[in-house]
Amino acid sequence: GEREGAVVGAVPKGLFIGGEWRDAEGGRELKVEDPATGEVLCAVADASPKDGQLALDAAAGRQAEWGQTPPRARSEILYNAFELLKQRQEDLALLMTLEMGKPLAEARGEILYAAEFLRWFAEEAVRIQGSYLPSPDGKSRFLVMKQPVGTTLLITPWNFPMAMGTRKIGPAIAAGCTMVAKPAPQTPLSMLALAAILDEAGLPKGVLNVIPTSDAGPVMEPLIKDRRTRKLSFTGSTAVGKILLTQSSEQVLKVSLELGGNAPFIVFDDADLDRAVEGAMLAKMRNVGEACTAANRFFVHADVADAFATRLAERMGALKIGRGTEDGVEIGPLVDAAAVAKVSTLVDDARQRGARTVLDGGPIDGKGHFYQPTVLADVPPDARMGTEEIFGPVAPITTFTDEDDVVARANSTDFGLISYVFSQDIDRALRVAERMESGLVGLNSGLISNPAAPFGGVKQSGLGREGGLIGIDEFVETKYVGIPVR
């Protein structure tokens, strides 16, 4: 409608370099689609490798000065941006729904979640602390200080287009790093809108540079290998994360990686089944399952498995599916046609190997990239969805009877982002939480992400943590000054 056009129209469509909005080299453009209709919303500038260089020139040129700004000044910019995001929540949510597909209610939630990273790091900017200590033998003093790591590259995914931006940009600003940010090609508009807001909030020119591109590899690789770059922070697939980690080895960059997951969701026979179903709905259906935290493998005790599967299928089957802008819609489309094809392939594979259908969903013909929720039971261990991220509204259920056995099965994956554990027995709940090989555990909860808590994975789910008191550490270096006493 008219409001949609106005909201899309208000976003600057250029590359944001050195505080100016510019066309890409040769006027190259990247088309942005509405995944609910397949129609083109608008085009934005599509950065070339040369544009990438200009962005790094701007960021690196500003580093020395920006690293010296008073922490309070950096804090206030973040706080101003936090306020602006909240004030413009409605428009920013609509923009996100249009480019990414998630229902408006979820997009509104993400804008607030994204804003909270700015507030959290506004608070942290003035609390980056060092220490001054006597050596154990008393003969010298240790002065330990924290300094900005330096110019940073940020690469973000399409599934949380605003929150993944603020989660990286927030601590980078707080710590005093300058940046080149590259959003996913499917969802550049949220990041461009964020850049405009940070500009309005008082961020000096050149501190943040934004370069959407359809050519990520050729644009980013030279920047990763450029001597002026000191850090890379990436959220996306494990496959791309590994490529970037290899490229980062050239300069031994400081690296933060938030990669894929394969979350187990364990329901013991002593669980509160209402809470388990509620938790499963959040862990599986938030963002239509397009989240690295999405429950990927359900392990349910044999005594409660049928009841759990029936109730989950009822709830998932009752969700209203449609374009995210429509009233009452609870699940939107998947991000693109490739996503629908991948989910379909994994479901077909599981069925061919003997999985039983509890809720029969599947792709919806016609406009947009819709996939109806699906619940499978008795999913055999060799099904591909046991090892691959589904990234869609499909819940595969298997049963267990023994605690040691389910812990071993839950941990038998190369990934380790999050595990969900449902039990009312406090001893068991804590015991199993400790044994989970994952950076995060949802205990009787299907959603635990919070800007004030440390988020990140073990094994091939990543390196480093975002948010929490530790989040700023990714953007500072520690310097030790040794001082003999005279």
Minimum CB–partner distance for residue 156 and ligand ADP (Å): 6
User: Among the candidate windows 240-248, 346-354, 399-407, 431-439, which touches ligand ADP by CB under 6 A?
Assistant: 240-248
Does 49 contact ligand ADP by CB under 6 A?
no
The count of C-alpha atoms lying within 13 angstroms of the C-alpha of 111, restricted to the half-sphere facing its C-beta, is 26
Distance set, CA 467 to CA 120, 154, 161, 166, 302 (Å): 8, 15, 17, 10, 37
User: Among the candidate windows 49-57, 233-241, 322-330, 419-427, which touches ligand ADP by CB under 6 A?
Assistant: 233-241
Amino acid at 396: P
Comparison of 155 and 407: residue with beta carbon closer to ligand ADP: 155
User: Among the candidate windows 54-62, 239-247, 424-432, 469-477, which touches ligand ADP by CB under 6 A?
Assistant: 239-247
Instruction: Pick the binder of ligand ADP from 26, 70, 217, 354 (CB under 6 A).
Output: 217
Minimum CB–partner distance for residue 240 and ligand ADP (Å): 3
Does 24 contact ligand ADP by CB under 6 A?
no
Give the phi and the psi of residue 127 in degrees, each rounded to 5.
-125, 35
The pairing of beta strand 394-400 with beta strand 254-258: unpaired
Instruction: Pick the binder of ligand ADP from 148, 150, 236, 416 (CB under 6 A).
Output: 236
Comparison of 128 and 240: residue with beta carbon closer to ligand ADP: 240
Residue of 99, 116, 258, 474 marked active site: 258
What SS3 class is residue 110?
helix
Q: Where are the alpha helices (DSSP H) in 201-304?
A: 216-224, 238-249, 273-285
Distance (Å, rounded) from C-alpha 161 to C-alpha 280? 23
Does 264 contact ligand ADP by CB under 6 A?
no
* Closest listed residue to residue 253, CA positions, set 296, 277, 221, 211: 221
Write out the E strands in 292-393.
295-301, 356-359, 362-363, 371-372, 374-377
Instruction: Pick the binder of ligand ADP from 240, 266, 312, 316 (CB under 6 A).
Output: 240
The pairing of beta strand 131-134 with beta strand 140-148: antiparallel
Comparison of 232 and 377: residue with beta carbon closer to ligand ADP: 232
Within 178-197, the residues that bind ligand ADP by CB under 6 A are 182, 184-185
* Closest listed residue to residue 101, CA positions, set 263, 283, 287: 287
Number of residues that bind ligand ADP (CB under 6 A): 14
Does 237 contact ligand ADP by CB under 6 A?
yes
Within 65-104, the residues that bind ligand ADP by CB under 6 A are none
Residue nearest to ligand ADP (CB): 236
What SS3 class is residue 298?
strand
Minimum CB–partner distance for residue 243 and ligand ADP (Å): 5
Minimum CB–partner distance for residue 153 and ligand ADP (Å): 9
Distance (Å, rounded) from C-alpha 399 to C-alpha 385? 16
Within 415-474, the residues that bind ligand ADP by CB under 6 A are none
Distance (Å, rounded) from C-alpha 307 to C-alpha 312? 9
Does 220 contact ligand ADP by CB under 6 A?
yes
Comparison of 87 and 246: residue with beta carbon closer to ligand ADP: 246
Minimum CB–partner distance for residue 260 and ligand ADP (Å): 8
Distance (Å, rounded) from C-alpha 283 to C-alpha 110? 15
Comparison of 80 and 293: residue with beta carbon closer to ligand ADP: 293
Instruction: Pick the binder of ligand ADP from 112, 196, 243, 245 (CB under 6 A).
Output: 243
Distance (Å, rounded) from C-alpha 20 to C-alpha 195? 11
Minimum CB–partner distance for residue 15 and ligand ADP (Å): 15
* Closest listed residue to residue 218, CA positions, set 53, 48, 56, 57: 48
Distance (Å, rounded) from C-alpha 475 to C-alpha 287? 29
Both tokens of 327, joined, read: 């009233």
Active site residue 258: yes
Comparison of 146 and 286: residue with beta carbon closer to ligand ADP: 286
User: Among the candidate windows 191-199, 232-240, 298-306, 347-355, which touches ligand ADP by CB under 6 A?
Assistant: 232-240
Cα dihedral 210, 166, 438, 421, rounded to 10, equals: -140
Distance (Å, rounded) from C-alpha 271 to C-alpha 266? 10
Distance (Å, rounded) from C-alpha 151 to C-alpha 228? 7
For residue 480, the surrounding DSSP H or E stretch is strand 476-484
Amino acid at 461: S
Minimum CB–partner distance for residue 259 and ligand ADP (Å): 8
Minimum CB–partner distance for residue 244 and ligand ADP (Å): 6
Comparison of 77 and 95: residue with beta carbon closer to ligand ADP: 95
Within 117-176, the residues that bind ligand ADP by CB under 6 A are 155-157
Catalytic positions: 258
Write out the residues near ligand ADP by the rule CB under 6 A: 155-157, 182, 184-185, 216-217, 220, 236-237, 240, 243-244
